[in-house]
């Protein structure tokens, strides 16, 4: 990662802060705990060092290996307290070897044992996040299986990413995570991973009486968690119509502009879109900047950004202060 | 099926024509060809007999077993020529036993061998449809696998239906089916099975250069097929915001009102929604009636419906002539 | 008017046909009948001659003086039968001198006597249009009065145009014009002259019981006329959000792309907008081309345009066949 | 006004607070200063007394006569300091007799001399409002003139209200009022009096170079004032499509639910609409309650409402805490 080149590119595109994270699958593909935990520490330290020279231009999401929840909790805590990271990145499910698989591991038909975070064993981890007031980002991994091997163009960002991620995200919500941690905040990208548009049907069909094992608060709707615990980003989905649909479904306060670098390698493409797409200026400033400042607490040092900038404060010929929400970097 | 009770209920809800079909998984779950083909014939003949007394109030989608494409083609032809059916229902992939599996069968990690219709072996079947000018409807099946066994509330209409169906639908489109049969028309429900909202991203990420085996016309976008070969229905997804989003994405000419009976067992719920949701009256008449009349050719005998009814022709205190597009019936 | 320069500019912006008309206030400002009628004939003949060399690239709206309805009817007839014009332009109300004012003239507080076309005396004129299947376009004039003299920036296209025009348009509709001529078609521009967005409130507040002299069919709503007799254009109002709102209110079949030349003197500005604004491709082709072809019957000679072009037929890198609906020309 | 009956009706419709004001034309129709000022005092005192028994269920907008700006300023001050009123109501322009007309009075072609508040003489009045942090509401008056006398159904809420009000509102904005008082807040109803939908065109056509006398800050757009100084209400305009369009144009933070009583005399009609129209729940709570609480400072005594209630706090079977923004009452 060329940090200086990155700052230059940010300046050219009016991006004030980039949020960096260890890209998919990251630690989630390490099937051994010791290895994964070491990788997380190394990645976190490395990016911390990289950003030292420009601390106010970058914010980081910490990587964690999710095989041992206690260890994940510790590394998250270290990220927040020692490295001033703004949240955690989770690249979908955690793979784990048969040898190290904890008893809550689930068999997968296509790629060995998997760990999903709707299991209560992860409460120790999510408690650290809730207590620190730090969100986590749920990023997709490739979808696996024979069907996609024969049709590889459907396995990744065209289709499979959102499918795999949406399974896990819905498992977290319906598993009661946000009932146990009502202040916890989750982010995910790609304009909602295909879930946002189906909220009505999800709530309409989630028949409490048919599913006694459903863990989610039976008085709540999935929609309620989107109003209190969830933020989506535009990463890699610069569709004005779908941004408008997401705004209609969720309101403008829980949508954040993001690029999806390096999957989207042209900052200008995304930046130009958010600067010019036909949404109202007050909503544009929220989505392109203010919402992220609030959630990630970029009003604190070293960023010291204003919490409620208006379009006028930002503008000298176009929006000049994006928070590039969750451009994912790889090193 | 109580055909008289059904007509009564239709009258009460202003539904002029119901489109009936053999519900999921239907013949697609028969793993033996002979058995599946017999079931298809039986189902088609049975519903034909049932509707004989009220031929102008019902239209039928024919069931077929898809293990032997030639036989599926024959039964489709019989449905059109002898039974005056308006199209074909396909309940997602066809299951098949190891013994009878044709060489294009695909191994599935979770439920034995599967047949997907993007394989060219099915050209003989789709040619019959295109030649007859009859559409097919792609209806979901339950999603399978360990993940969903532990979270059964996600396996069906809440989430899994759309996931499983969207895999197959995208496989058909990107597999070049509509390049080989440019006049063929496909329908699917649930407000687009999660695909409609992601058209921008699908086209944005479908990188032709990375996938040399991609069979779809490389000059076209997935969006183009939605403009020429695809129709979606509102079945089980009475969300006004998502209907509006679908209209923005596809235009109003390729969206059809449908109920999703018996999964939605309250006709009044869906009928009241389409009668009152805040869309323009010209679009309401298209979506609730005219689009289906055109696609299913209900202007012909025995239905003899006008092709372009206006709101005024229909109305005596509310919309009175829905075509209940694709309420699926089970007998 | 430099007809060759105009064709060149059209080619550069992918405009196949321009619809020309005598710009505001045109004959409507002539307060003497003889003078106004002569001007109409002269203007119509002149533009007919101008377009002779490129008959398939232009279509004309005929000018008429509205002081003597019989004469207006005659000139309209001549325009259709001898000059092959596609409709009529009316630049809002007709001014008339005290001497020539017919008995249905109305006193105006600000600029002498005025004639509004909701008076039944004009039935003879509108009958010619309905019989010929030709629409008329209602274009604004400047608003008059002391208030606007002190605030001249509000008098014209910023505000006054739409105000003055909306009075007249609503008078025509509520005056029963379309009840007497149910096939007559009216067009107006600027995304609906401020009326489209208030249809709900207009119908909600149009209290039949309070207004016994209201002439409009009391069984109908103003909205109904927008579904059967009215077309709006985008002239001078390239707002994507408002186009989307108009589509939601009226449906996509009654909205036409137009530029508003010479008030908008940059063809590229409008053409680029309609080519790229985030509406669906099927709707884009309707709005940018097909709707105008149908209404103006440009499928006939000398234009011979296809009635239902698809995006694919038109496209070689962008929309290439706009009908520049109602760019108004002045000579 | 039956204050107890009103509270009962509010309870039945889940309305926590009603905002009351002296209805149109109120003091604005008094052409004599002494008379108008006395009427304002009387009206303000009267409604204050009426609400004394239920101080937390009502909030008042004070009436003022605008003939003598100093006196209007004084009465406004009294309203805020002695009566705890939350803002001021202005029923469009002030009529004034020839005898008492100040030198900035404007001749009107249709109903004598008029006073418009874009004149700088009113700075003394608006300064009181800005200093107190209190907004004013601009409510329409009937439109006058021969044209409307012949078509009375167009003069009031169907059309004329919005026309007359939109003249004045645009005069205030383009007259520089909000440049001189950048914190001043203006409200108006009927979903934006026809202005909201034309913001793009207004800004597009407001040609600074052509109008040297234009007083508004030439670096700003009309749209900017809508983001910083303006709030609209839904009064009498329960159109979901237009609410959606207004949200798209302005964002959800500057739109407030209101009924328009007594012009709309059925509280249930409006309340049911805002409770069920297809907008997101977070936006619904803003529009139906929180936005008004913030602007009108209903977090203070005697209302003591929470500033940021969530849907969950409010809900026991539907929204139960509307602020009935600006239902106008008459006594």
| Cβ distance of D249 and C238 shorter than 8 Å | no
ω into residue B132 within 30 of 0, thus cis? no
- In 3D space, the residue among C244, C315, C233, C229 whose CA is nearest the CA of residue C275 turns out to be C315
Q: Which residue of D has its CA nearest to B243?
A: D278
**pLDDT at position D321:** 58
pLDDT digits (tens, 9 = 90+) for B244-295: 999 999 999 999 999 888 788 788 889 899 989 999 999 999 999 999 999 9
- Chain B residue numbers with beta carbons less than 8 Å from the beta carbon of C244 are 248
Domain count of the fold of chain D: 1
D330 inside domain: no
| Residue D253 · residue A285 · CB < 8 Å | no
DSSP assignment letter at C108: E
d(CA B331, CA C68): 71
Question: Can you tell me the mean pLDDT for C142-162?
Answer: 95
Whole-angstrom Cα distance, residue B316 to residue B312?
A: 8
Cβ neighbours of residue A241 under 8 Å, at least 6 residues apart? B200, B245, B248, B249, C278
Q: Which residues of A touch B199 (CB under 8 A)?
A: 239
Chain D contact set for B284 (CB, 8 A):
none
More confident residue, C326 or A295: A295
pLDDT tier at D5, thresholds 50, 70, 90: confident
Q: Output the six-digit token pair for D164.
A: 């007359």
Residues paired with D22 in a beta bridge: D329
At C70, is the pLDDT very low, low, confident or very high (cuts 50, 70, 90)? very high
CB < 8 Å to A244, chain C: 244
pLDDT for res A1: 64
| Annotated catalytic residue, options B92, B118, B217, B260 | B260
Structure confidence at residue C323 as a pLDDT band (50, 70, 90): low
Q: What are phi and psi of B193, to 5 degrees?
A: 50, 35
pLDDT band at residue D327 using 50, 70 and 90 as cut-offs: very low
Average pLDDT over residues D220-228: 95
- β-partners of residue D20 are D60
Q: Are strands A112-115 and A136-138 parallel, antiparallel or unpaired?
A: unpaired
pLDDT at position C3 is 82
Residues of chain B found within 8 Å of residue D244, distances taken between Cβ atoms: 244
CB contact under 8 A, C249 and D241: yes
Return d(Cα C72, Cα C27) in angstroms, integer. 11
CB distance from A182 to chain D under 8 Å? no
**Tokens of residue C96, six digits:** 């008339």
pLDDT tens-digit readout, B74-116: 999 999 999 999 999 999 999 999 999 999 999 999 999 999 9
Give exposure, C141-172, as e/b (b: 16+ Cβ within 10 Å). Answer: bbbbbebbebbebbbbbbbbbbbbbbbbbbbb
Question: Is the pLDDT score of C318 beyond 50?
Answer: no
* Residue D149 CA to its chain's centroid (Å): 27
Of residues A327 and B105, the one with the higher pLDDT is: B105
Residues A129-155, mean pLDDT to the nearest whole number: 96
B312 touches chain C (CB under 8 A): yes
Site from B197, B199, B276, B280 to mutate, C interface, most C CB atoms within 10 angstroms: B280
pLDDT at A330: 41
Judge whether residue A326 has pLDDT over 90: no
Mutation for D interface: C188, C195, C205, most D CBs within 10 A: C205
Total Cβ atoms within 10 A of residue A265: 9
pLDDT for position A318: 46
Instruction: Provide the token pair at D207.
Output: 């040609």
| Residue B242: predicted pLDDT | 97
β-strands B136-138, B186-188 pairing: parallel
Q: Is the pLDDT of residue A195 over 90?
A: yes
- Against chain C, the chains showing at least 3 CB pairs within 8 Å are A, B, D
The contacts found for A70-74 with CB under 8 angstroms, 24 or more apart, are: A70/A124, A71/A33, A71/A37, A72/A122, A72/A125, A73/A124, A73/A125, A73/A127, A73/A128
| Contact with chain C for residue A276, Cβ under 8 A | no
* Three-class DSSP category at D40: helix
Distance of alpha carbon C72 from alpha carbon C114, whole angstroms = 16
Cα D10 from Cα D268, distance rounded (Å):
9
Q: Sheet holding D112-115: strands in order across?
A: D94-96, D112-115, D106-108
* Max intra-chain CA distance, chain D: 58
Query: Percent of chain A having pLDDT more than 90?
Result: 78
- Which of D234, D237, D239, D240 should one mutate to test binding to chain B, selecting the residue with the greatest count of B CBs within 10 A? D240
The average pLDDT across D148-177 equals 97
C217 pLDDT more than 50: yes
* Minimum distance, in Å, between the CA of residue C80 and any CA atom of chain B: 29
A174 lies in some domain:
yes
Phi–psi pair at A58, nearest 5 degrees: -135, 150
Q: With CA atoms as reference, report the closest residue to C180 among C115, C233, C131.
A: C131
Q: Which of these ranges, B20-24, C120-124, C167-171, has the smallest mean pLDDT?
A: B20-24
> Distance (Å, rounded) from C-alpha D51 to C-alpha D56?
9
B260 a catalytic residue: yes
Asked if residue A331 has pLDDT above 70, the reply is: no
More confident of the two residues A46 and A327: A46
pLDDT at D325 over 60: no
Share of chain B above pLDDT 90, in %: 78
Report residue C260's pLDDT band, with 50, 70 and 90 as the boundaries. Answer: confident
pLDDT of residue B147: 96
Residues 6 or more apart whose CB falls under 8 angstroms from that of B91 comprise B22, B23, B24, B25, B26, B27, B28, B29, B139, B140, B141
What value does the mean pLDDT take over residues D52-80?
Answer: 96
Which residue among the candidates D207, D224, D260, D308 is catalytic per the annotation? D260
CA-based end-to-end distance of chain C: 5
Catalogue the E-assigned strands of D92-206: 94-96, 106-108, 112-115, 136-138, 186-188
User: Which pLDDT does position B153 carry in this prediction?
Assistant: 96
D220 vs D4, higher pLDDT: D220
Task: Check pLDDT > 80 for residue D220.
Answer: yes
Q: Are strands B106-108 and B94-96 parallel, antiparallel or unpaired?
A: unpaired
Examine the pLDDT at D206 and tell me if it is beyond 70.
yes
Which chains are within 8 Å of B by 3+ CB pairs? A, C, D
- Domain residues for the domain of C53 are 3-324
Q: Which of B50-59, C28-37, C85-94, D187-196 has the lowest mean pLDDT?
A: B50-59
Closest-CA distance, D196 to chain C, in angstroms, reads 9
How much is the average pLDDT of D141-145? 93
Residue B248 pLDDT: 97
Which residue(s) pair with D87 in the sheet? Answer: D61
Q: Do the Cβ atoms of D76 and D86 come closer than 8 Å?
A: no
Whether residues D280 and A253 touch (CB distance < 8 A) is answered with no
User: A201 and B175: CB-CB below 8 Å?
Assistant: no
Work out the pLDDT band at D208, boundaries 50, 70, 90: confident
Q: How confident is the model at residue C253 (pLDDT cuts 50, 70, 90)?
A: very high
Q: What CATH number does the domain containing C183 carry?
A: 3.20.20.140
What's chain D's Rg over C-alpha atoms?
A: 19
Chain D: list its partners (3+ Cβ pairs within 8 Å): A, B, C
pLDDT at C202 over 80: yes
Q: Write the pLDDT tens digit of every residue in D21-53.
A: 988 899 999 999 999 999 999 999 999 998 998
For C245, the closest of D110, D236, D241 (CB atoms) is D241
pLDDT at C317 over 60: no
Over residues A77-90, mean pLDDT? 97
Q: What is the pLDDT of residue B325?
A: 46
Residue C112 is assigned to a structural domain of this protein? yes
Q: Is the pLDDT of residue A32 over 60?
A: yes
Residue A315 is encoded by which pair of tokens? 């503008």
Torsion of CA C120, C126, C127, C133, to 10 degrees: -160
pLDDT of residue B307: 87
**Has residue B202 been placed in a domain?**
yes
Q: Is the pLDDT of residue C115 over 60?
A: yes
Residue B234 pLDDT greater than 60, yes or no: yes
ipTM attached to this prediction: 0.94
CB within 8 Å of B106: residues ≥ 6 apart: A146, A147, A150, B113, B114, B115, B116
């Amino acid at each position: 990662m060329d940090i200086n080149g990155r700052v230059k590119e940010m300046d050219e595109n009016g991006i004030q802060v980039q949020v960096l994270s260890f890209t998919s699958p990251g630690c989630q593909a390490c099937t051994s705990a010791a290895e994964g935990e070491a990788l997380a520490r190394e990645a976190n330290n490395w990016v911390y060092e990289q950003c030292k020279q420009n601390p106010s231009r970058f914010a980081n999401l910490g990587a964690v290996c999710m095989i041992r929840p206690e260890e994940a909790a510790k590394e998250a805590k270290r990220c927040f307290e020692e490295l001033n990271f703004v949240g955690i990145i989770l690249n979908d499910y955690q793979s784990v070897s048969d040898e190290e698989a904890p008893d809550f591991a689930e068999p997968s038909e296509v790629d060995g044992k998997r760990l999903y975070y709707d299991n209560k064993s992860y409460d120790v981890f999510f408690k650290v996040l809730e207590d620190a007031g730090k969100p986590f980002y749920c990023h997709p991994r490739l979808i696996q299986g024979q069907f996609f091997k024969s049709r590889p163009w459907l396995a990744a960002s065209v289709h499979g990413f959102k499918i795999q991620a949406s399974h896990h995200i819905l498992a977290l919500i319906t598993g009661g995570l946000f009932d146990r941690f009502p202040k916890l905040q989750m982010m995910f990208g790609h304009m909602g991973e295909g879930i946002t548009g189906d909220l009505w049907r999800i709530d309409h069909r989630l028949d409490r009486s048919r599913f006694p094992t459903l863990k989610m608060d039976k008085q709540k709707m999935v929609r309620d968690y989107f109003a209190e615990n969830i933020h989506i980003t535009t990463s890699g989905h610069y569709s004005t119509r779908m941004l408008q649909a997401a705004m209609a479904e969720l309101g403008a306060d829980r949508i954040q502009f993001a690029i999806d670098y390096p999957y989207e390698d042209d900052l200008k493409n995304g930046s130009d879109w958010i600067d010019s797409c036909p949404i109202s200026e007050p909503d544009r400033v929220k989505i392109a900047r203010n919402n992220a400042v609030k959630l990630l607490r970029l009003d604190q040092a070293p960023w010291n950004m204003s919490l409620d900038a208006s379009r006028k404060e930002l503008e000298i010929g176009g929006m000049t202060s994006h928070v590039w929400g969750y451009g994912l970097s790889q090193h």
